[in-house]
Chains A and B, each alone.
Chain A
Amino acid sequence: MKAISKTPIVWLFLIAAIIVIPLVSGSYVIGVMCFVAVLGALGVGMGVLMEQAGIFSLAHPTWFGLGAYVSGILAVQGATPPWLGSILGAVFVAILSVIIGAPLLRLRGYYLACATFGLLLVVEISLAQLGSLTGGHEGLMGIPPLSMFGFTFETDLHYYYLSWGLCLACLWFLHNLMGSRVGRAVKAFSDSEVAASSMGINVPAFKLKIFVLTAVMASLAGSLYTFYLRFTQPGIFGFPLLVELMTMLIIGGGRTLYGPLLGSFVVLWLREFIHTYLGKLLPRMTAEVDAIFFGILIIVILIFMPGGLAGWVDKLLGLNRRALGRASD
């Protein structure tokens, strides 16, 4: 992952684009780009967990949702300032993901997917049923905006910078991590657990570490999401979000670190275009057209670009493994 010679240019370009976009566009673009960043931060962690560590966990929307709810509830009840609530949410998710991950990560492949999917449904139903605390099906209302050191994040533009800050921080952290001793250990056990453990890698411990780390990232993204929307609902964190994330991973390419972020950008903007243009042509069928379009797109990508858009771009740029390895000096 450490394409050092090209990496600073890519980062500079990305940061410049993020700064320039709000200067040349309106609130509509800024709003969509906020969601691109939040879902991108979520997807990047999920990509590392599923594609690089080979841990097929479907519970990612759950950690996102729990982060949103814990920080939201704490803020509504006035127990802690929102920024502290976000951190407490991440701590809560970290503890819960250790408790749940320690036994569940002994499962592999489909079994792990089934168990974590169960967790996703249980948490969604629990959030809906704990009405007095969570607001039930109606959702949690009256969430105050995020404020920190006397500064209140109110406008879309504030959240735009905040969510892109979080997204890039997650990307940077995982970029460093996957090019390091820990990242090598993670890729090693996803290739061969037997060989990895014979090299002295404590495989269950490393699985748990990467699981908890990506859960914490998801939780922080969830807190940001809830303060941006100032509203949250159990239905947001269920199966539809899981499908959305999987779509982003497949289209963007989960084996490449930035793939899910690219996926988030492409999926959200394509959907905007479908809704804008097809909404006029077929006003009653937008949802169906949306589902059919993404269904076909996933099939086409899987057949012609199994590495997703990011894998395809890397191939075009000749950024094969040989070059990546050589650049890591």
Chain B
Amino acid sequence: MEGLQTDNLLLDVRGLSKHFGGIKAVEDVTFGIIKGSIISMIGPNGAGKSTFINVVSGLYTPDTGKVQFEGEDVAGLPAHAMASKRLSRTFQLEELFSSLTVLENVMVGCHTCSSSGVLSCGFSVPFARKEEKRLQAEAMECLREVGLEERAYDTISQLPLGERKLVGIARALAMKPKLLMLDEPAGGLAAHEVERLVQLIYALREQGLTIFIVEHNMPFVMSLSERIVVLDEGKKIAEGIPDQVRSNERVIKAYLGEEVA
């Protein structure tokens, strides 16, 4: 945190902890995300990265600590309230809606940007029909952005893993996010798919989006990120630009074991 200007911070996390019984999944983590930057979180398996993203996105309530989004205290808010503050995320295991088409999946992402309710939808009033058209156009635009418009009417089960990850991103983009959190976006992808993903993330960054990536794939993270946070056994052990992190002894130890090369 030191050296960063607080008023530039989109997300400000201080002393965040989450315990499951005796397991300290996340322990006293403090860091911030500057507007318009790409920041990544890395760490070995079980380091608490997924727990961290789940706490920030509101799926878990933190035990202690503060989370501020645009200067507003949001720790402990439920996930749907976090989403309506335009904090959107993808999932490690995609979590797409398998009974909906690709387009409909992305349209669910438009939920917070639409308002027609049970009665206006059920009676199909003009307002609801007009809104439905708008959502379709918006969702199609998001699919175009990730390059999947051809797949709009396919079911999720017809898509390969790489494209499913992209549907997850399109769905998150449909929320018109201020902060996009990607949980292991490159996990399980082939090299050319990773390349496509890198291009997409750069394009999103160009549009001024702030992106937070939790990832395993080191070359991917090193090439993309402006700052990297390293988590080990729930604690933050390092933070800095990729080169600083790469040469950090504690990071090497956490990744390679006790013997420091």
Which A residues contact B (CB, under 8 angstroms)?
A: 173-174, 176-177, 180-185, 187-188, 190-192, 194-203, 209-210, 213, 321-322, 324-326, 328-329
Contacts and interface: CB of A to CB of B under 8 A. Distances in A.
Contact of B80 (A176, A191, A203, A210): A203
B101 A176 contact: no
Given A176-B123, A190-B99, A182 B108 contact: no
B96 to A, nearest CB: 7
Contact of B95 (A173, A184, A194): A194
Given A199-B83, A199-B111, A322-B155, A191 B122 contact: no
Given A195-B95, A196-B108, A201-B80, 9 more contacts: A177-B121, A181-B111, A185-B108, A188-B108, A192-B95, A196-B97, A199-B171, A200-B84, A200-B175
B100 interface: yes
A181 B132 contact: yes
A168 to B, nearest CB: 14
Interface string B107-119: 1111110101110
A180 B101 contact: no
Interface residues of B, number: 46
Nearest to A195: B95
Contacts of B131: 181
Contacts of B155: 321-322
B212 to A, nearest CB: 14
A187 B97 contact: yes
B1 to A, nearest CB: 27
Contact of B59 (A177, A197, A329): A197
Interface of B: 57-59, 78-80, 82-84, 88-89, 91, 95-101, 103-104, 107-112, 114, 116-118, 121-124, 128, 131-132, 135-136, 152-155, 171, 175
Contacts of B114: 181
Contacts of B99: 187, 190-191
B122 A176 contact: yes
A182 B118 contact: yes
A321 B101 contact: yes
A213 B118 contact: yes
Contact of B88 (A183, A187, A198): A198
A148 to B, nearest CB: 21
A329 B118 CA distance: 21
B108 A199 contact: yes
Nearest to B84: A200
Contacts of A191: 96-100
Given A180-B116, A200-B80, A194 B59 contact: yes
B111 A326 contact: no
B83 A322 contact: no
Contacts of A187: 97, 99-100
For the complex of A and B, the 6 pairs showing the least CB-CB separation, nearest first, are A200-B83, A180-B121, A325-B101, A200-B112, A195-B95, A197-B79
